Structures are given as C-alpha cells and as structure tokens.
Structure 1
Amino acid sequence: MSPNDTRLHGRTALVTGSTGGLGVTIAHTLARAGARVVVSGRRRDRGDEVVTGIRAAGGDATFVVADLGAGGDAVRRLADQATAAAGGHLDVLVNNAATLLMPKPTADVTDRELQDVFGVNVFAPFLVTGAIAPAMAARGGGAIVNVGSNTGLRGSAGSAVYSGTKAVLHSFTQSWADEYGPAGVRVNAVAPGPIATERAVEFADHVAPMLARVPSRRMSTPDEVAASVLFLASDDAANVHGVVLSVDGGWAAV
C-alpha cells in the first residue's frame, strides 16, 4: 500500500476488537488510507498503545473502551460513544471482534463457552450494526465489513461453535446487503484462513494439515487481510455488495 494512499481521506471508521491481533493491523491500515479511526477493545492500556502508534505514523485515532461480551446495553453504548468520538458520524464499520475457541468435541463445549463465543461473534456485530447502519443509510452511504472466516464456509470436526458463528456472520452480510444496500450502504465480508499472528502458534498443529492442501501452502499475513478490508471499505469496491471475500491462499477453492 502506498504511503500516499488517500482512499479513506476525510472518513471515519470504527474497528471493533482493534487492541490486539488482526484488529490492530486493520486499524493502522485504515488510518494510513486517511481515515479517522476509532479503536475499541476491553483494555485501555492496549487501546492507548494502538492510538499512539497510529498517531506516531501520522494518522488520526482515538480509543473507546468496550466489552462486547457484556451484552446489549454495553454494545449499544459502544456505538454511541464511537459515533461521538468520530465527530458525530461513522462512514465505515469493521466488525472484527471475535472470541476464538480451540477445536474440541461438541459434547465437551460448556454452556459458558457457547454463550461467550456467540455473544461476541454473533450478538455483538448484530447489535453494533443495528445501532450504526440506520444512520449510515439516512446519510445515503457507508461501508460495513464483517471479518468472517474460512471455517464458516465449510464444516470442520471439533469446530462447530466457532465455525457456526462465522457462518452466521456471513449470512448477516448477505441479509444486510439487501437491507441497507438500496440506501447506499455496502455490506461485505472477508473470510480469512489461518493468519500469521502471535496466537497462530496455539493452532499450529490444527492448521498444518489444512495448509498442506491449499494452493499457497502458507498462512495469510495480517497485512494481506487488512488490505482486503480496506478494499471493501473504499470506493474501489463501489458496486460490491454482499460478497464474502476469501483471503485464505485458495483453501475455499480447493
């Protein structure tokens, strides 16, 4: 990406779950493209660190603390606080926050794990979008990018819960595209495969057989996934609606 990228110049963006992992890279990528980025997450120290890094690179960012697993009012409060922090409106929403669950047999998943993963991965993006998309529609434009997963495209033994939440998010993407598209709001998703983050080492044994079969024979980098998010958020994708874009080295294709 060019250091002179201005695709989001003058626009505002909220990236949920942007105090760690892929979310940090997405926040930096959108900021480098000119967006004023609202960073959000549970830990203020990490949020302040991300904001400091964006500003040091010449970007514009602010932080809003949010626990998306806390339920309805807390999630809706994030939407209100992020809108205020962005200057009164949001042009881009990236539903990135997610709770991972290590692969395990369905019968071994606890009630709490089921509630936690669905709470962050399904309920939170539904509520955030419901709180932000109508204002985008009223202004006649906006872009929403959901961060799904290649596991939401195909079933995988031991991954029913996490895969199921991502399949729901992909379905949300298509339904919201139909709901908000006529008012000028584009809704799309990226579906990454394994991403080479620090946490990826926890899943190394699980993903090795997968990587052996995909055309690229490697994980995606956070920058590659973030570049796809930027594409969908920008006018480069001006007539792209309801797409679930695989960024997985060809895993979904083969």
Structure 2
Amino acid sequence: MANQTGKTALITGGTSGIGRAAAKQLAELGVHVVVAGRSAERGEQTVADIRSAGGKADFVQTDLQDASSARELAKKAVELGNGRVDILVNNAGIFPFGATHDMSEDDFERVYAVNVKAPYFLVAELAPRMAEHGGGAIVNVTTMVADYGAAGMSLYGSSKAALTLLTKAWAAEYGPSGVRVNAVSPGPTRTEGTDVMGEGLDQLAAQAPAGRPASADEIAEAIVFLATDRSSFIYGATLPVDGGRTAV
C-alpha cells in the first residue's frame, strides 16, 4: 500500500480493540494518528506503542457525550494535524444488550449520544474542512446487527442502523467535494470490550460460515482499505466483515 505520510487521521475509540488496531496500521503507513478515548492510561499506552514503532501519534481524552464534546475533539485534532484532518474513523461505540422493555431513557440517550450524535457532529465539523483541502475519507464502524433483527439488540442495532444510513447520506452530500464516506460492518470480534460476552461471543460467531470471531486486526484491515486511496472509487458503501453472517 502506498505511503500515506503527511496525512492525519482522527480515530475515536482509538485506545483499544478495533480502533487501536486501525491506529497502529495507519501509523505504519506514515499517517499521523490522533487517537481519542476515555481512558488516559490506555491512550498514553497506545501512543507510546505507536511512537516506539516509529509512528506519529497523539492522544485526546474525551467521552463524546454531546455535540460540544465532538466539536471540541474535532478542533483539537485539527490543531494537532497542523490545520487538517484527512481521515476520520468513527469507531467509538457502546453496546448494552437487553430487551427493549429493560432499557431506560438514560440508556437510550447514552447509546445514541456516542453511536450517532458524536459521529454526526464530528462529520459536521471535519467533512467541510476536508473538502476545502481537496478531499478526505470517513469510515464509520457499524455492526452486522444493523442489518437484521436480533432479540436484545434493538437499542444498539438501531443506533448503528442510523449510522449506516448516514454513511449513504454523507457520501451523497460530501462525495462531490472529494470526501469519500464508507462504513465497515463487523461481526463478532474478540476485543477487550467483548470479553464480557464470554462464551456468547463464540456462540454468535458460530452462526456464520467463518465459524469464529474476528480479531481486531482483521476488522482494522478493512477500515484502512476504505480510509486510503486503494478504495478511491468506493463511495457510500458498507463493507461487511462478519465472517459471512449476513450472507446466509
């Protein structure tokens, strides 16, 4: 893959799991990665790991609970990127599972704040700036359960389904200005965040042709593909990386 030196990427949820794997892979290509997350400890460790491997990285601590936090993150990323962000990876997400009647209004607000509102206002801030600089790439991380009904996943799945639609809308809106917007739709993936699922993760993965959970690096490969020029003619697409689950 061509060297991407000179570009800056902002990766939300970039201090663990899929986000961290994507940050490391982009840094290996020469991209200056700005990783955002809640944990200063994980953020500093991620940055240290990337720098020790010869990459360029910075950390911004944020909880992405409202529009103002998203706008502030975008501002800091632009400053760290010397006036530009070329790649945005909307990876941060929370996934409480449970029946609809067990979810509270606070649960609803929290999930939609992180999974929908934050990406919305990050794009609002950064896509026009990308267009001013001649283009850019935005990759949204969704989920396979945005594509089919699953008991216990109404809140999480619906929030990511909104992001799937936004991917298409933003491609139509910003694509003509050179900003490509696409999405990656992971299946069950083994990360620190999904460890709480225990055997449930393997049981869910067993329903797909691959028969196993993905690694964070496997999902990150798809993100990096859509974030770089190798996917230069792909706009508004959602790439399933789910072991074939949504194909059967």
**In the aligned structure 2, how far is the partner of 1:25 from the partner of 1:125?**
19
Identity of aligned residues (%): 43
Equivalent residue number for residue 8 of structure 2: 12
- Where in structure 2 are there 5+ consecutive unaligned residues? none
1:205 offset after TM fit, Å?
A: 4.2
Deviations for 1:29-63, whole angstroms, at most 9, x for unmatched residues? 11011100011112222211111100001100111
Equivalent residue number for residue 161 of structure 1: 155
1:160 offset after TM fit, Å?
A: 0.2
Match of 1:75 among 59, 70, 73: 70
**In the aligned structure 1, how far is the partner of 2:113 from the partner of 2:93?**
9
Match of 2:197 among 203, 228, 236: 203
Deviations for 1:117-137, whole angstroms, at most 9, x for unmatched residues? 110000000011101000111
Given the two structures, how large is their TM-score scaled by the length of structure 2?
A: 0.96
**In the aligned structure 2, how far is the partner of 1:215 from the partner of 1:28?**
28
Given the two structures, how large is their TM-score scaled by the length of structure 1?
A: 0.94
1:162-201 equivalent positions in 2, closer than 5 A: 162-201=156-195
Q: What's the secondary structure of 1:199's corresponding residue? A: coil
Query: 2:145 corresponds to which letter in structure 1?
Result: T
Equivalent residue number for residue 44 of structure 1: 40
Q: What's the secondary structure of 2:182's corresponding residue? A: strand
Match of 1:224 among 218, 223, 244: 218
Q: What's the secondary structure of 2:194's corresponding residue? A: helix
Q: Is this contact kept in 2: 1:76–1:127, CA < 8 A?
A: yes
1:195 offset after TM fit, Å?
A: 0.4
Query: 2:205 corresponds to which letter in structure 1?
Result: L
Equivalent residue number for residue 144 of structure 2: 150
**In the aligned structure 2, how far is the partner of 1:88 from the partner of 1:245?**
30
Deviations for 1:79-106, whole angstroms, at most 9, x for unmatched residues? 00111011110110000111121x2111
Equivalent residue number for residue 234 of structure 2: 240
Pairs aligned (count): 248
Q: What's the secondary structure of 1:113's corresponding residue? A: helix
Q: Is this contact kept in 2: 1:192–1:248, CA < 8 A?
A: yes
Q: Is this contact kept in 2: 1:7–1:235, CA < 8 A?
A: no
Q: Is this contact kept in 2: 1:149–1:166, CA < 8 A?
A: yes
1:145 offset after TM fit, Å?
A: 0.3
Q: CA RMSD in A?
A: 1.2
**In the aligned structure 2, how far is the partner of 1:158 from the partner of 1:52?**
38
**In the aligned structure 1, how far is the partner of 2:62 from the partner of 2:149?**
31
- Where in structure 1 are there 5+ consecutive unaligned residues? none
Equivalent residue number for residue 116 of structure 2: 122
Equivalent residue number for residue 61 of structure 2: 65
1:162 offset after TM fit, Å?
A: 0.1
